[in-house]
Amino acid sequence: MMASGGSTSHTTLLRSRAEGAVRPFYGTHQTAVEAPPTAFARFLTFDLKDRADRAGIRRMLRIITEDSADLCAGRSPLADSEPELALVPANLMVMVGFGPELVRRAAGAAAIPSWLGPLPSFEIDALNPRYTGRDLLVIFQADDPVTISHAARVLTRQTTSYLTLRWSQDGFRRSKGSEPSGTTMRNLFGQVDGTKGPHPKDETFPRYVWGEGASSENPSWLSGGTGYVLRRIAMDLDLWDTVDRPDRERAMGRDLAHGAPLTGGGEHDAPDFDARDSLGLPIIPDFAHMRRAHATGAEDVIARRGYNYESDADAEGVAEAGLLFEAFAHDPLKQFVPIQQRLSQMDMMNLWTTPVGSAVYAIPPGCQPGGYLGDTLV
């Protein structure tokens, strides 16, 4: 009796701790696109197996959806062999993206958005084929790495008949509660990363992300969804260590302490690109990252997010660290590519960063109870 009562009490305590740490799974859009980022993430990409035809893809997406909905709510899926690990959702979110081959198998080539494919080549790229586009992307985000590990294992195990895992990478930010809510993350160079919007609460977010009110040519199945670019950017931390603080700030165009533009103000104040110093030189140099990334027209605007990453050392003792850069845009060719072209041509940060992975995915809309992610496609 005591053992049974203790078990029930323990489960009740865990569920109590989980209260307030649940983010909704169902909705018009996939939750992770709009919700504040969590402290940890795991990025997984998969290739479809031959048996994953249209019917197989439908079954696979139902499994992913149903299990994800349970896990995000702090419930154990039916086939979960470690159900206790599901009781702490820790703000778990699961985001799913489709590559062109999945779309083709599910609905035919005509359903593939015009931008869904490899990005144009850029001079700064040194892409590893392993980190290029695959058929399915699944991102797990939560404030607890155990929650992520468990969720990733459940979904990977449940879909092994249809998918082959190609690569997995953990990402991280500051732990929940270590900084005030809403603080802009810092990358491994110590720079604020993600100041520039639009952010989910901005009135322009629906236009640039969902394509609302924009001249979007996306297929109807993607209504309520968006385009997504994932760039794996390796950072040379050892070389960065040799750079003095003023040159670091000029390379970025922001002060390191607060993230404010070098022309003054606060982190979120607009930079004055016309401002000159006593010698008549631009205070924010032409090669500064923030100047190169700044929108030059009505279309080249993206919503951005990022996670730091570190990989284990290889046989030669060489490890890789960097940024998993995410861009959300209803048309990545119109919105993201012009920005990346400017960065490729003259961004001083290229001295210390190298894009080693690049992929584009279609993020389908959210779904309602009884439906599944991708039900507008399949």
For 24-55, give the DSSP string: ---SSS-HHHHSPP-SEEEEEEEEE-TT--HH
Stretch 81-105: mean pLDDT: 97
Stretch 328-333: mean pLDDT: 97
The string of pLDDT tens digits covering residues 101-140 is 999 999 999 999 999 999 999 999 999 999 998 999 999 9
Query: Please, which pLDDT band fits residue 216 given cuts at 50, 70 and 90?
Result: confident
Q: Looking at residue 313, what is its pLDDT?
A: 79
The tokens 């901005």 sit on which residue?
A: 202
Q: Looking at residue 9, what is its pLDDT?
A: 54
Q: Looking at residue 316, what is its pLDDT?
A: 80
CA distance 66 to 62: 6
Q: Looking at residue 4, what is its pLDDT?
A: 46
315, pLDDT greater than 90 = no
Cβ contact 44:167 at 8 Å: yes
Stretch 304-326: mean pLDDT: 91
Stretch 211-219: mean pLDDT: 90
Q: Looking at residue 297, what is its pLDDT?
A: 84
CA distance 142 to 21: 9
| C-alpha of 130 from chain center | 18
Q: What is the pTM of this model?
A: 0.93
169, pLDDT greater than 60 = yes
Beta-carbon contacts of residue 321 (< 8 Å; ≥ 6 apart): 188, 234, 235, 237, 308, 309, 310, 311
Query: Please, which pLDDT band fits residue 15 given cuts at 50, 70 and 90?
Result: low
Beta-carbon contacts of residue 56 (< 8 Å; ≥ 6 apart): 161, 162
Query: Please, which pLDDT band fits residue 214 given cuts at 50, 70 and 90?
Result: confident
For residue 147, give the nearest of 70, 210, 208 by alpha carbon.
70
* Residue 105 amino acid letter: R
CA distance 183 to 357: 27
In this prediction, what percent of the chain has a pLDDT beyond 70? 95
| C-alpha of 245 from chain center | 29
CA distance 138 to 324: 14
Q: Looking at residue 20, what is its pLDDT?
A: 62
Average pLDDT of the chain, as a whole number: 93
Question: Helix, strand, or coil here: 353?
Answer: strand
Burial grade of 125 (CB within 10 A; 0-12, 13-18, 19 or more): middle
CA distance 344 to 361: 22
DSSP string, 176-225: TTSS-TTPPPB-TTS-B---SS--TTSTTHIIIII-TTS-----GGGTT-
Q: Looking at residue 2, what is its pLDDT?
A: 45
1, pLDDT greater than 50 = no
Query: Please, which pLDDT band fits residue 16 given cuts at 50, 70 and 90?
Result: very low
286, pLDDT greater than 70 = yes
Domain ranges in the chain?
Answer: 26-175+189-363
